[in-house]
């Protein structure tokens, strides 16, 4: 699958000419970074890409109109240099000039955006992300560098939909057509790196896109070696076979690497794991029972004991770095007496028993053993209902459980809120496994989305979070941290809130 395109061939000739003229090759040239990749690649077509590790490569190959600041998670310009809206319904984007496509496909224009979004919406594409553009009614390009998008209803989080992620990634018509049914293996974007080589069972190589609009990346070649086993990945880093480990997620490995002085490259509070209460299961229909469960389990202690680096107890559905987050919500600190009192009020003075859906692949995790133990102290018996992973996914999507867990990583707060809380998204058919349906909250969600003034919108989001945490249809348990441990010489690795690294920011120091 090695291919040498015209541009590469050209640069090869150029390099030879330079050497021939006795001039030094650019000092930054030839740098290579070897990175652990943790699963078989599954394709890089933005229309149907899935799983974070694949998305991370696409993030570096493609661009969106907007993108995310690696440090703050804030929306920043990408292919759009600026945008305006007065009503969250009509959005005007001013596009960047002189952006070059990879593989010699010419200059980026508004037509490319229109093609990309139309492709997502085309039923033929069958993109699972088409819903993100469901409200898009018209697109118009008065000139190649201006794009006007009309939505059917106000959507304050539309800038997330056009970000460098999934459906927001801009593709090139000619490249898509040239690739035919192999689109997923031949991605062409405008990002800092292009796809050079894939062996689906062992290795992926990305090469620097020299014409990237922000200038060429410091590292020329990114080699992703597939290493599935966590322990093997840790040894590969300690052995120097890789420079950087994409997502190390075992506490013992992290402790070893920390002790040996590796750089940990982390982002805190990436996403929150929640307990989904099926409110059709009788005890959980009563908010007092849900609150009793919340008081009964001490997640601070559990995470401290099990995985102090990777997790900490958490109290909200939204993450602290989101602009609309408020810390000012009802909290349920560990309190056995309060839990017992709430259970007694709800009519369960002697407790009750329920089944928690889990995967047989994981078995009864240490975390769940703790939960079982904590709950037994207030008389509640938690039994594990273990099934294999796809069955688990299916039953969880269908809502066939009494309690389940879910972790919904998202950078867009509306996505979390709508999925968990909107009655249209009730299971089956959505992620609202609690069957939550509070008209006040539904109205607030719509109002917050429609409000163009950030201050006023925030006030609505605050009110919404307060109501939801009083109702407690979902119990936030702990927040996850993401680790990309690497050598000290690898600098600039900053996982963003999608757990992705922007390799344009990464460099290797020689010292």
Partner 1 sequence: MIDYSLKKLVQLVITTFGVVTLVFFTLRLIPGDAASAMAGDTLSGDALEALREQMGLNEPLFRQYLDYLSSLARFDLGETITTRIPISELLLKAVPITMTIAVSTIVLTVLIAIPLGTLAAFMAHKGRKTLDNFLTGTAMILDLMPSFWTALVFLLLFSLTLGWFPASGMVSWDDPWALMQRIALPVLVLSVTQVATMARITRTSVLEILSEDYVRTARSMGWSELRVLFRHALKNAALPIVTVIGLSFGNLLNGTVIVEFIFTVPGVGNLLITGINSRDYQMVQTLIVFYALLFVTINFATDLVYRSLDPRVKF
Query: Residue from 255, 345, 389, 489 that binds partner 1 (CB under 8 A)?
Result: 389
What would the x/- binding string for partner 1 be over residues 29 to 68, using CB under 8 A?
-------x---xxxx----x-xx-----------------
Place of tokens 């009020």: 345
Pair of tokens at residue 13: 């000739």
Q: Given the rule CB under 8 A, which of 180-188, 443-451, 470-478, 481-489 is the region that contacts partner 1?
A: 180-188
Work out how close the CB of 203 gets to partner 1 at its nearest, in angstroms, rounded to a whole number.
Answer: 6
Nearer to partner 1, 343 or 482 (CB): 482
Work out how close the CB of 127 gets to partner 1 at its nearest, in angstroms, rounded to a whole number.
Answer: 7
Nearer to partner 1, 223 or 467 (CB): 223
Q: At what angle do helices 230-239 and 251-259 cross, to 10 degrees?
A: 10
Query: Residue from 58, 130, 176, 272 that binds partner 1 (CB under 8 A)?
Result: 130
User: From CA 181, how far away is CA 259, in angstroms rounded?
Assistant: 48
Cα torsion 142, 144, 148, 149 to 10°: value is: 130
Q: Rule CB under 8 A: is residue 129 a binding residue for partner 1?
A: yes
N-term to C-term CA, the chain: 35
Judge contact between 104 and 116, C-beta under 8 A: no
Mapped onto helix, strand or coil, the DSSP state of residue 247 is coil
Contacts with partner 1 in 208-227 (CB under 8 A)? 225-227
Q: Given the rule CB under 8 A, which of 121-129, 317-325, 343-351, 480-488 is the region that contacts partner 1?
A: 121-129
Q: CA angle, corner 440, sides to 435 and 443, nearest 5?
A: 95
Work out how close the CB of 335 gets to partner 1 at its nearest, in angstroms, rounded to a whole number.
Answer: 31
Work out how close the CB of 5 gets to partner 1 at its nearest, in angstroms, rounded to a whole number.
Answer: 22
Mapped onto helix, strand or coil, the DSSP state of residue 460 is helix
Neighbours of 439 (CB within 10 A): 8
Work out how close the CB of 253 gets to partner 1 at its nearest, in angstroms, rounded to a whole number.
Answer: 12
Q: Which residues contact 321 (CB under 8 A, 6 or more apart)?
A: 72, 73, 269, 497
Mapped onto helix, strand or coil, the DSSP state of residue 480 is strand
Q: Given the rule CB under 8 A, which of 10-18, 404-412, 434-442, 449-457 is the region that contacts partner 1?
A: 404-412
Query: Residue from 106, 428, 452, 454 that binds partner 1 (CB under 8 A)?
Result: 428
Work out how close the CB of 136 gets to partner 1 at its nearest, in angstroms, rounded to a whole number.
Answer: 16
Q: Rule CB under 8 A: is residue 241 a binding residue for partner 1?
A: yes
Mapped onto helix, strand or coil, the DSSP state of residue 221 is strand
User: From CA 436, how far away is CA 305, in angstroms rounded?
Assistant: 33
Q: Given the rule CB under 8 A, which of 105-113, 194-202, 294-302, 328-336 is the region that contacts partner 1?
A: 194-202
Residue 188, φ and ψ in degrees, nearest 5? -130, 120
User: From CA 217, how far away is CA 102, in angstroms rounded?
Assistant: 14
Q: Rule CB under 8 A: is residue 9 a binding residue for partner 1?
A: no
Q: Where are the beta strands (DSSP E) in 286-333?
A: 311-313
User: From CA 303, how far away is CA 249, in angstroms rounded?
Assistant: 14
Work out how close the CB of 360 gets to partner 1 at its nearest, in angstroms, rounded to a whole number.
Answer: 12
Q: Rule CB under 8 A: is residue 487 a binding residue for partner 1?
A: no
Q: CA angle, corner 411, sides to 237 and 191, nearest 5?
A: 65
Neighbours of 286 (CB within 10 A): 18
Q: Rule CB under 8 A: is residue 128 a binding residue for partner 1?
A: yes
Residues in the interface with partner 1 (CB under 8 A) total 58
Work out how close the CB of 215 gets to partner 1 at its nearest, in angstroms, rounded to a whole number.
Answer: 31
Q: Rule CB under 8 A: is residue 228 a binding residue for partner 1?
A: yes
Place of tokens 């867009």: 412
b/e per residue 207-218 (b: at least 16 CB within 10 A): bbbbbbbeebbb
Work out how close the CB of 38 gets to partner 1 at its nearest, in angstroms, rounded to a whole number.
Answer: 10
Query: Residue from 429, 454, 470, 489 that binds partner 1 (CB under 8 A)?
Result: 429
Q: Given the rule CB under 8 A, which of 259-267, 406-414, 440-448, 497-505 is the region that contacts partner 1?
A: 406-414
Nearer to partner 1, 234 or 316 (CB): 234
Q: Given the rule CB under 8 A, which of 111-119, 140-148, 230-238, 313-321 is the region that contacts partner 1?
A: 230-238
Q: Which residues bind partner 1 (CB under 8 A)?
A: 36, 40-43, 48, 50-51, 123, 126-131, 181-182, 184-185, 199-203, 225-229, 231-233, 235-236, 238-239, 241-242, 387-395, 397, 406-409, 425, 427-431
């Amino acid at each position: 699958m090695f291919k040498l395109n015209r541009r590469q061939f050209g640069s090869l000739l150029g390099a030879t000419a330079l050497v021939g003229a006795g001039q030094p090759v650019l000092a930054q040239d030839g740098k290579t970074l070897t990175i652990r990749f943790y699963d078989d690649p599954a394709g890089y077509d933005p229309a149907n890409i899935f799983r974070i590790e694949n998305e991370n490569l696409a993030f570096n190959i493609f661009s969106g109109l907007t993108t995310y600041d690696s440090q703050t998670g804030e929306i920043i310009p990408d292919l759009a240099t600026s945008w305006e809206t007065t009503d969250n319904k009509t959005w005007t984007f001013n596009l960047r000039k002189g952006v070059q496509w990879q593989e010699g496909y010419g200059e980026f224009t508004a037509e490319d955006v229109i093609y990309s979004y139309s492709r997502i919406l085309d039923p033929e594409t069958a993109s699972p992300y088409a819903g993100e553009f469901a409200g898009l009614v018209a697109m118009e390009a008065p000139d190649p560098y201006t794009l006007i998008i009309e939505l059917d209803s106000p959507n304050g989080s539309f800038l997330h939909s056009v970000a460098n992620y999934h459906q927001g990634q801009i593709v090139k018509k000619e490249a898509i057509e040239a690739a035919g049914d192999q689109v997923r293996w031949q991605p062409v974007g405008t990002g800092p790196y292009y796809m050079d080589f894939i062996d689906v069972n062992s290795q992926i190589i990305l090469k620097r896109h020299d014409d990237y609009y922000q200038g060429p990346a410091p590292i020329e070649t990114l080699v992703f070696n597939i290493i599935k086993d966590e322990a093997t990945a840790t040894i590969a880093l300690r052995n120097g076979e890789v420079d950087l480990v994409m997502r190390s997620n075992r506490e013992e490995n992290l402790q070893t690497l920390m002790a040996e002085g590796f750089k940990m490259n982390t982002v805190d509070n990436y996403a929150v794991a929640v307990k989904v209460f099926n409110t059709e299961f009788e005890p959980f229909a009563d908010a007092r029972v849900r609150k009793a469960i919340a008081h009964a389990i001490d997640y601070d202690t559990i995470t401290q004991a099990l995985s102090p680096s990777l997790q900490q107890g958490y109290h909200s559905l939204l993450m602290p770095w989101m602009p609309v987050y408020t810390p000012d919500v009802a909290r349920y600190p560990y309190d056995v007496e309060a839990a017992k009192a709430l259970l007694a009020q709800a009519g369960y003075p002697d407790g009750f028993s329920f089944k928690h859906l889990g995967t047989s692949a994981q078995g009864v995790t240490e975390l769940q053993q703790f939960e079982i133990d904590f709950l037994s102290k207030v008389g509640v018996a938690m039994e594990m209902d273990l099934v294999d992973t796809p069955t688990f996914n299916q039953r969880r999507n269908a809502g066939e459980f009494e309690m389940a867990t879910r972790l919904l990583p998202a950078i867009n707060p509306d996505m979390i809120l709508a999925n968990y809380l909107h009655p249209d998204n009730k299971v089956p058919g959505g992620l609202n496994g609690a069957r939550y349906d509070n008209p006040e909250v539904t109205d607030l969600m719509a109002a917050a989305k429609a409000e163009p003034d950030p201050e006023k919108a925030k006030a609505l989001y605050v009110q919404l979070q307060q109501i939801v945490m009083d109702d407690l249809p979902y119990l936030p348990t702990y927040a996850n941290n993401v680790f990309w441990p690497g050598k000290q010489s690898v600098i600039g690795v900053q996982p963003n809130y999608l757990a992705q690294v922007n390799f344009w920011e990464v460099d290797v120091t020689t010292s």
